[in-house]
Amino acid sequence: MRIVWLTDIHLNGVADAVTDDLLATVTARRPAAVLVGGDIAEAPDVREYLLRIAAGLDCPVYFVLGNHDYYFGSVQQVRQEIYRLCQGHPQLTYLTYAEPVRLSAGYALVGHDGWADGRCGDYDNSRVVMSDHRFIRELAGTEPEARLSLLQELAGEAADHVRRVLPQALEYAQEVLLLTHVPPFREACWHEGNIADDQWAPHFSSQVMGETILEIMRSRPTQRLTVLCGHTHSSGEFAPIPNVRVLTGAAEYGRPDICRVLTLS
Ligand SMILES: [Fe+2]
Ligand SMILES: [Fe+2]
């Protein structure tokens, strides 16, 4: 079973012909399913791009949203809009609101957008100014302390979802794929071959998601989890414990491409 994984494709920043080329390249790999790991476009047009992706592919599309998908909109509104879209569109599954998906014998898929929770690195002294804090309605105009609680609330929601669906998937699957936008470990926050420093780590990683994953997988050493994440636009691999591997996907603005083709045996 072949699965194509895309992440951080930022389609609102490219010409329609580039999107068409990407979809044709994906189709040529004849995947059984396509995973899209967030940062698809922005709030005003993410729905339209999801419909284009579905129309250009002839297999199920499983996706999560990234921080950019909420720009010029609100997290709650976009999530509701995309949830409703998927209710009427069987080809599209928004994993943030989905139960585990059985991919093939022994394999299952779960996912959630995730959110950077400011716990890794040095949030208080970080000089990094994320555009999220201007362009996402819930975060715009908030003071650093109030913003941190909001970020941690969003990240906590994601971890709670995984705490519920991952054990369900592990009831029948030997290996689970977890699709999320934000790296769940600081060591998975790659940037040009290096790990994010104290300035960037608070905005690039979700510690609560990492802790949740470890808690679940440590008690199931004979089963495996592969986390597929993005957000940092640089590739790397990290294994916090022997049965968990985290793949971070590379991406380049303006040049959306296949991140990886996974073969499930
Ligand atoms: Fe991105
Ligand atoms: Fe992102």
Lowest-confidence region among 126-130, 171-175, 249-253: 126-130
Q: Give the Å distance between the CA of 133 and the centre of ligand 2.
A: 13
The residue-averaged pLDDT of 161-180 equals: 98
Cβ pair 91, 54 in contact under 8 A:
yes
Half-sphere exposure of 184 (CA within 13 A, CB side): 30
pTM equals 0.98
Q: Give the Å distance between the CA of 154 and the centre of ligand 1.
A: 18
Ligand lying closest to the C-alpha of residue 114: 2
Quick one: pLDDT at residue 191? 85
Q: Give the Å distance between the CA of 221 and the centre of ligand 2.
A: 31
Q: Give the Å distance between the CA of 219 and the centre of ligand 1.
A: 33
Q: Give the Å distance between the CA of 235 and the centre of ligand 1.
A: 12
The residue-averaged pLDDT of 101-118 equals: 96
Max intra-chain CA distance, the chain: 49
Q: d(Cα 5, Cα 102) in Å, to the nearest integer?
A: 17
- DSSP-derived 3-state class of residue 13: helix
Q: Tens digits of per-residue pLDDT, 53-66?
A: 999 999 999 999 99
Quick one: pLDDT at residue 193? 86
Half-sphere exposure of 9 (CA within 13 A, CB side): 30
Given the DSSP bridges, would you call strands 244-248 and 236-241 parallel, antiparallel or unpaired?
A: antiparallel
Ligand lying closest to the C-alpha of residue 132: 2
DSSP secondary-structure letter at 136? B
pLDDT band at 256 (very low <50, low <70, confident <90, very high): very high
Ligand lying closest to the C-alpha of residue 10: 1
Q: Tens digits of per-residue pLDDT, 183-230?
A: 999 999 998 889 999 999 999 999 999 999 999 999 999 999 999 999
Quick one: pLDDT at residue 15? 98
Over 90: is that where the pLDDT of 112 sits?
yes
Q: Give the Å distance between the CA of 222 and the centre of ligand 1.
A: 33
pLDDT band at 105 (very low <50, low <70, confident <90, very high): confident
Domain span at 46:
2-263
CA 159 distance to own-chain centroid? 13
Q: Output the CA torsion sign for 43, 180, 187, 260.
A: negative
The residues whose Cβ lies within 5 A of ligand 1, an ion, are: 8, 39
What is the domain count for the chain? 1
Give the chain's mean pLDDT. Answer: 97
Q: What CATH number should be reported for the domain holding residue 127?
A: 3.60.21.10
